[in-house]
Amino acid sequence: MRRDKLSRLAKEITMRSQLMRFSVVLVLIAIAVAAIVVGAAGAKSGSRDVTRSRKSAGSHVSRRLLAEFKVLRQDQEGVKGAHGASASASYQPLPQGVVEGMDRAQPEMEPSSAAFAGGTYPTWVVPGANHICLVLGTTGANSVPSSSCGSTSSAAHQGLVISTENEAGTPVIVGLVPNGNSVVRVTDTGGTSKSVPVVDNVYEVTGGAPRTVTFRDGSGSETTRPVALVSAPPPPSAPAE
């Protein structure tokens, strides 16, 4: 009889021990599941915050600009920008002086959404609410960044052009044209034409005596615009005799 009681007691102790271990396992599983859910919720929330911040940065950019100029749709991280340069390796920010100047004089522009277009000389495309700017960095030791801006409509039909020269005095032409142009036709002052490649809406001409640039506008029609070369300074006057 005593042995039966001891046997039942041992069985009860064993069952209680097993129940306690099972309860602990359930609690640990519940804690792990809760941690996973919270972590996933936090990650999802963080993702929304990142998306929101990116959208807010370009919230005032004209949708037509994004449709007409694919260079503005490139992500600055991990993709190839204009002229085949890896954005993650060679990306350059818009010069601070240009950013400050736009903030003061062109509040409709979104310099934070500028697309770096690479090139022989650093080039950026800056969108805005209803305008777009082509910005060319320094082309020589003593030069400063230059820009050409226009409305969305004029840029889609006439493009944008910057005429300058490098440190050696060689003419430099950098232009922006809408989608649909793999090349532009550049005609010099002597009437000779040549094709110049367009990469992510940007073309570049160095040297020669370019006079006009021909390309297709946003509607697909061929258009030609003049290119104004930088005029050389007049020679100094001869001393009076």
Share of the chain above pLDDT 70, in %: 64
Do 111 and 162 have their domain in common?
yes
Ramachandran category for residue 105: left, alpha or beta (phi over 0 → left; psi -120 to 50 → alpha): alpha
Number of domains in the chain: 2
Q: 68 and 36: one domain?
A: no
Instruction: Mark whether 17 and 78 lie in a shared domain.
Output: no
Q: What pairs with residue 176 in β-bridges?
A: 160, 202
pLDDT, mean over the chain: 76
Same structural domain, 44 and 96: no
Identify whether 240 is part of a domain. no
Q: Looking at residue 60, what is its pLDDT? A: 75
For 12-29, letters b (16+ CB in 10 Å) and e give eeeeeeeeeeeeeeeeee
CA atoms of 132 and 177, how far apart (whole Å): 11
One domain, residues 116 and 2 = no
- Does 71 share its domain with 158? yes
Measured CA to CA, the distance from residue 173 to residue 204 in angstroms comes to 6
Confidence of residue 5 (pLDDT cuts 50, 70, 90): low
Residue 239 inside a domain? The answer is no
Q: What is the pLDDT of residues 130-160, one digit of tens each?
A: 999 999 999 988 889 999 999 999 999 999 9
Do 94 and 128 belong together in one domain? Answer: yes
Confidence band of 220 (pLDDT split at 50, 70, 90): very high
97 neighbors 103 (Cβ within 8 angstroms): no
Q: Is residue 231 part of a domain?
A: no
Q: Which of 39, 57, 75 is the last residue of a domain?
A: 57
User: CA-CA distance, 177 to 196, in Å (whole number)?
Assistant: 12
Q: Are residues 73 and 45 in the same domain?
A: no
> Same structural domain for residues 110 and 200?
yes
Residues 72 and 36 in one domain: no
159 and 140 share one domain = yes
Domain span including residue 47: 1-57
Residues 89 and 206 in one domain: yes
- Is residue 101 assigned to a domain? yes
What pLDDT, on the 0 to 100 scale, is given for residue 14? 57
pLDDT in tens, 80-108: 444 444 444 478 999 999 999 999 999 99
Range in 81-85, 164-168, 170-174, 230-234 with the lowest mean pLDDT: 81-85
At residue 59, the pLDDT reads 56
Evaluate whether 178 touches 69 at the Cβ level (below 8 Å): yes
